[in-house]
Amino acid sequence: MDTIAGKVAVITGGGSGIGRGTALVLAAAGAHVVVTDVDEGAAVAVAGEAIQSGGSSVGTRLDVTSQADFDSARDLALSTFGAVDIVMNNVGLLAVGAPEYIPISEWERIINVNLLSIVRSNASFLPLLLDRGSGHIVNTASTAALFAYSYERSPYSATKGAVVALSESLALYLRPRGIGITCLCPGPVATNIGRQMTFWGPPVKLHSPGADLELLTGEAVGAHVRDAILANHFLLLTHPQLQAEALVPRAQDPEAFLAKQVEKIVKEDAETSNAGR
């Protein structure tokens, strides 16, 4: 995509965090932005922010577990702005606990939101993009999808890993048809995902991909997303140092990398246990 100006973007989870930041960045670049969120008030508020800054935007409610809501957002984009050029699938839920304590019902809920939301989005928006032979899709996965640094959020890691695999397969199909795709894998970002966490079983330590990683704002990530769309860049790391620190070593020697990660987890858990005594 050679320009953002004049394009129409639909963003799920746009009421806060990365979704909000990307909506504001794309609007500032001249896009018409449809901000959607399960919290309609938050979506409308972000659209208002974009408009106050000189952008073009509308906010609406979208529950990503509803195909009808996706269709309604598509129809709103078409009736208001006349097209859909960019679709950003940007939702995520976390269940926290040792694996044996997280119930099947919670796995089903998180699969429905984190993974099947993209399947629903594709059903609504892909036919439009394919008919025109242009456009761009952004799927938000996670650093947790690329290498193991925790065990206490396994449904999140598993579903976001599936988002990476789905995005790669879509790239094989869509790029030859003129449609770009970006898989966003954020590290630490200031979002409100913590408010939506559920906790199961005894308390566990929340492990991180790296203690020295900068906490980014949603707007900073949104700027990276804008640039990736323009460059048709597939794998977007918000913290590029992880490629050399984790992804390359994991690819070169998966057994050694996993052994190192296990050692790290055991040490961190022991330190947490000792600190609590």
Catalytic residues: 156
How big is the CA angle at 188 (ends 216 and 106), to the nearest 5 degrees? Answer: 135
Tell the burial category of 19 from Cβ atoms under 10 Å away from its Cβ (0-12, 13-18, 19+). buried
CA distance to 36, 126, 146, 168, 243, per residue, from 131 (Å): 24, 8, 32, 21, 36
- For 180-210, what is the HEC assignment? EEEEEECCCECCCHHHHCEECCCCCCCCCCC
* Runs of H (alpha helix) within the chain: 17-28, 40-52, 67-81, 104-110, 116-132, 154-174, 218-231, 241-242, 248-252, 254-275
Dist CA 239 CA 186 (whole Å): 7
